[in-house]
C-alpha cells in the first residue's frame, strides 16, 4: 500500500510540475493562441485517470488472467511427493522473505519457466511449468522458486504496473497536445477536433508508446538481477547459477505470453535492437552478476 501511495504521490507531483513548467515556458499561452478546445489541466487529469487506471486494472486481474491464459493447476492439497516438496519449499522461502504463503501452481508447458504475479505481495501467485520440474534438479527448482518469491517480496509486480501507468499518462497527454497543434497549425482547424488531431493522437501515441516501453523494459531487466540475488539468498548462489545455466541449455527457449513475460524466470534470447524491448537481460549477464557478487 505504501508503494502505491508513493507512486500516486509521485504521479501527482509530476503532473503539477509539468503544469507549472508549461505555464512558465508559455506553452499553455501558445496553445491558447492557436485556438481553444484544449485545457491542459483537464487533459492532465484525463491522462492520469486512463493511464494509471488501465495499468492498475491490469494488475488487479493479473492472477485471474494468469490462471486462465496459462492453465495453472493450483496445488491446494498436495497429492504427490513432488507437490509436497514444492509446497514446503515455498512456505519456507515465503516465511524467510517475510510474506504470506502465495498460491502455488503448475502449468502444462514443456519449456522450463516460472512466473509470479498478483496485486498484493501477501496474496500472490507463483507457478512453475511442468517442463521446469522435468528438466531441473531439486536444487535448481528451489532457486527458481526463490527468484519468484523475491519478485513477490520486492513488490516488483506493483512497481512495474505503476511505472507503466506513469509512462502511459505522459503518452496520452503528449499525443493529444501534438494532435491539437497539428489541427491548428497544419489543417487550420479553429475549433473542435479535425483530422490533424486524430492523426496525431493515433500515430504519435504509437510512437511514444514504443519509446515508453523501452523505459518499462529497462526497469524490468534491472529487477531481474535483484530477483536473482534474492533467489541466491533463499536457495544458495550456486543453485541459482546452476538454474540459469540450465536455462541456457534449452535448445529453443520460448518466452511466456506477452502479458506474463515480464514475470517469468526466462524471457527468451534478446539480440540487437530487440534487446531494448526485452523484459529479461541475457542469461550470461545474470550469471556473471551472481559470480561477481561479493
Catalytic residues: 148
Distances (CA, A) of 167 to 11, 32, 54: 10, 26, 12
Q: Tally the residues of the chain.
A: 294
Measured in whole angstroms, how far is the alpha carbon of residue 71 from the centre of its chain? Answer: 21
User: What is the spatial distance between Cα 182 and Cα 196, in angstroms, rounded to a whole number?
Assistant: 5
CB 121 within 8 A of CB 153: yes
User: What is the spatial distance between Cα 225 and Cα 231, in angstroms, rounded to a whole number?
Assistant: 10
Specify the 3-state DSSP secondary structure of 115.
strand
Measured in whole angstroms, how far is the alpha carbon of residue 285 from the centre of its chain? Answer: 20
CB 31 within 8 A of CB 38: yes
Pairing of strands 103-107, 73-74: antiparallel
CB 182 within 8 A of CB 201: no
User: What is the spatial distance between Cα 62 and Cα 116, in angstroms, rounded to a whole number?
Assistant: 10
Cβ neighbourhood burial of 131 (10 Å; 0-12, 13-18, 19+): middle
User: What is the spatial distance between Cα 7 and Cα 13, in angstroms, rounded to a whole number?
Assistant: 10
Instruction: Say how many Å lie between the first and final Cα of the chain, rounded.
Output: 33
Amino acid at each position: 500500500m505504501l508503494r502505491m501511495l508513493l507512486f500516486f504521490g509521485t504521479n501527482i507531483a509530476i503532473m503539477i510540475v509539468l503544469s507549472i513548467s508549461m505555464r512558465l515556458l508559455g506553452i499553455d499561452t501558445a496553445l491558447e493562441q492557436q485556438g481553444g478546445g484544449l485545457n491542459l489541466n483537464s487533459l492532465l487529469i484525463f491522462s492520469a485517470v486512463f493511464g494509471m487506471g488501465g495499468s492498475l486494472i491490469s494488475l488487479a486481474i493479473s492472477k485471474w488472467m494468469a490462471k486462465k491464459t496459462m492453465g495453472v493447476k493450483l496445488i491446494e492439497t498436495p497429492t504427490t511427493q513432488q507437490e509436497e516438496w514444492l509446497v514446503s519449499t515455498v512456505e519456507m522461502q515465503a516465511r524467510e522473505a517475510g510474506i504470506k504463503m502465495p498460491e502455488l501452481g503448475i502449468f502444462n508447458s514443456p519449456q522450463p519457466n516460472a512466473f509470479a504475479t498478483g496485486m498484493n505481495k501477501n496474496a500472490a501467485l507463483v507457478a512453475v511449468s511442468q517442463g521446469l520440474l522435468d528438466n531441473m534438479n531439486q536444487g535448481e527448482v528451489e532457486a527458481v522458486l526463490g527468484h519468484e518469491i523475491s519478485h513477490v517480496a520486492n513488490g516488483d509486480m506493483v512497481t512495474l504496473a505503476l511505472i507503466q501507468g506513469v509512462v502511459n499518462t505522459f503518452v496520452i497527454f503528449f499525443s493529444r497536445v501534438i494532435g491539437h497543434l497539428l489541427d491548428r497549425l497544419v489543417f487550420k482547424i479553429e475549433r473542435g477536433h479535425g483530422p490533424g488531431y486524430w492523426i496525431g493522437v493515433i500515430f504519435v501515441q504509437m510512437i511514444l508508446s514504443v519509446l515508453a516501453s523501452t523505459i518499462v523494459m529497462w526497469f524490468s531487466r534491472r529487477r531481474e538481477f535483484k530477483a536473482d540475488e534474492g533467489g541466491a539468498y533463499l536457495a544458495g548462489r550456486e543453485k541459482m547459477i546452476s538454474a540459469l545455466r540450465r536455462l541456457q541449455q534449452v535448445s529453443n527457449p520460448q518466452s511466456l505470453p506477452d502479458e506474463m513475460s515480464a514475470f517469468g524466470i526466462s524471457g527468451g534470447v534478446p539480440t540487437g535492437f530487440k534487446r531494448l524491448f526485452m523484459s529479461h537481460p541475457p542469461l550470461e549477464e545474470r550469471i556473471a552478476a551472481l559470480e561477481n557478487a561479493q
